[in-house]
Chains A and B, each alone.
Chain A
Amino acid sequence: MFFIPGFVIAIITFPGVIVHEFAHQLFCRLLRVPVFKVCYFRVGNPAGYVIHEAPKENWKSLLIGIGPFFVNTIVGFLIALPASIPVVKFHQSNPADFLLIYLGVSIAMHAFPSTGDAKTIWSSFEKKGNWLARFLVAPIIGLIYLGAVGSFIWLDLIYGVGVTIGLPEVVIKMLA
């Protein structure tokens, strides 16, 4: 396993960071939660962030926190789909195909919410939630941390490749 500093990965996969932050912002907009500042991309840690008001309802915190998981996965899949079948299945490609697959993988690999997102969700449930709500949200927080740890073994990249290359294969198998 080889190590590449996080900021280098963030620079290489910057489209994913932009979509990740945009997803947080999108959910804030949909749930009418005021946003004070959005940094779509920067060279630093974190590579992007959204500062928003803590919502009154815990479920809103949860949706804003995990929004990128859905948005980045769907967007990454849709962008790579037209390119992934010709390239992966039939080995017939053009330069645009590789660009789209790069974009798809970059975006999908940033689908995992960050540990910062997990902290925000947890603090919201800690302040306002009852024990049942905390009990239900705990596995999600656990999964987010697992994802963060997994990134040391390139779990985020594996997920990105899975969404862009593996998922079209699954769709084809289901349609055939």
Chain B
Amino acid sequence: MENHSAEQNPNACIVCGTPEYEDGYAHKMCRDCRTKMAELKIPNWVKFFALGVVALTLVDAVRLPNSLLAGIHYQRGENAEMQNKYATAEKEFKYVADIFSKSVENNAKLIISSVHNLDLKEAFAAAQMTSGKTSDEASLITEANSCLNVVDAYNPNANLDSLLEKLKDTPDNVKTALLYAYSTEHSEDNAVRLLLAEKLFDAGNFTATDSLLNFCTFYTPSNPIILQLKGATKREMKQYDSAMWYYNRLFDWNSESVIAISGKSRIEFKRHHDAEGMKLAQQAYATDSTDIYGIEGLSLAYYLTGKTHEANAMLAKIKAIAPDDTTIYNRLNNDLTGKTHFR
């Protein structure tokens, strides 16, 4: 092909030499050459480099939806935590734990929120995941540890554990007497006092429960475990205002405390304020539909308002969620079958 150079014709395209060039530009070029030059070829090595980066990004991007969701739920958990809404926070951090189970920070957050919900099983499971791990967020770890300390004081130590093992098949009244003797010898052991209080409560000895809890309260006046048992005890002693006071104090600890909401619902039913009781029972269930204390409360509410079918469905739900936990199931079953009377 003949090459018309610009030197041969100063009024031709500087690339191909054709006399028809586009006017008004810095360089004289025809339309085709201008387009070709604008679309200057990208070298293959740049294309391969870009391809490599894109491939690597796409491979890693497979995790992006889950990572993004985990990040969003973690942020929502933090937001709920800041508003003292620990039921929501625990749900959000559990979601993240399903994706990033080894994240020390998320497990620490899960410990904090589950302790605030008195979900000790979840708290100790998360604590096991963080055991021996380090984190840059020292203050978060300190907070998680101090939360664990709140409930850990009520975990049986090795001595009490071995005593309980020995007393496994001992009749309840003898066991209680022996635990009393143990608690007198070990005045520093809050766990045995709490255990005794629960036994006395289950046996219907509420005055004794109350006085024992007073002793515990002396050591840890704001402990949520004490507060919840104290609320229930005062309710059964028909000291409703006092019971309300204890449950309201639980809200300082967790504004979404299912135990407190459901506990207040039970007080309203005791007072024969059924409409208010039902409202609170439903609120507790809506806050956390997997909390068995909340489910028990709603079942009781249905039963007391004549909705036996719904009450039995809730009883079945407890068995499905916590097949090993027979205490609440048996207690509720006794109420629903008329063996015991809630009010």
Q: Which residues of A contact B (CB under 8 A)?
A: 15, 18, 22, 25, 28-29, 31-36, 38, 40, 53-54, 56, 78-79, 81-83, 85-86, 89-92, 96-97, 99-100, 103, 168, 172-173, 175-176
Contacts and interface: CB of A to CB of B under 8 A. Distances in A.
Contact of B79 (A36, A82, A176): A176
A114 B71 CA distance: 35
Contacts of B75: 172-173, 175-176
Contact of A86 (B38, B72, B100): B100
Given A32-B35, A82-B64, A97-B60, A103 B53 contact: yes
A175 to B, nearest CB: 5
A15 B53 CA distance: 10
Q: Which 10 A-B pairs have the closest CB atoms?
A: A34-B37, A176-B75, A90-B103, A85-B67, A90-B100, A172-B71, A82-B60, A35-B40, A82-B64, A82-B61
Contact of B105 (A29, A35, A86, A91): A91
Interface residues of B, number: 43
Chain B contact residues: helix, strand, loop or mixed? helix
Nearest to B137: A91
A144 B60 CA distance: 34
Interface string B23-35: 0111101000111
B42 A53 contact: no
B195 to A, nearest CB: 38
Given A83-B60, A103-B53, A29 B39 contact: yes
Interface of B: 24-27, 29, 33-35, 37-40, 42-43, 46, 49, 53, 56-57, 59-64, 67-68, 70-76, 79, 96, 100, 102-106, 135
Nearest to B136: A91
A99 B38 CA distance: 33
B71 A22 contact: no
A96 B260 CA distance: 48
Contacts of A99: 56
Interface-central residue, B61, B71, B104, by most chain A CB under 10 Å: B71
B36 to A, nearest CB: 8
A29 B201 CA distance: 81
Contacts of A22: 42, 46
Contacts of A86: 63, 67, 100
B46 A18 contact: yes
Contacts of A25: 40, 42
Nearest to B31: A32
Contacts of A35: 37-38, 40
B53 A82 contact: no
8 contacts: A22-B42, A28-B38, A83-B60, A90-B67, A91-B135, A92-B100, A168-B71, A172-B74
Given A32-B34, A79-B53, A175-B72, A38 B103 contact: no
Contact of B27 (A38, A53, A89, A90): A53
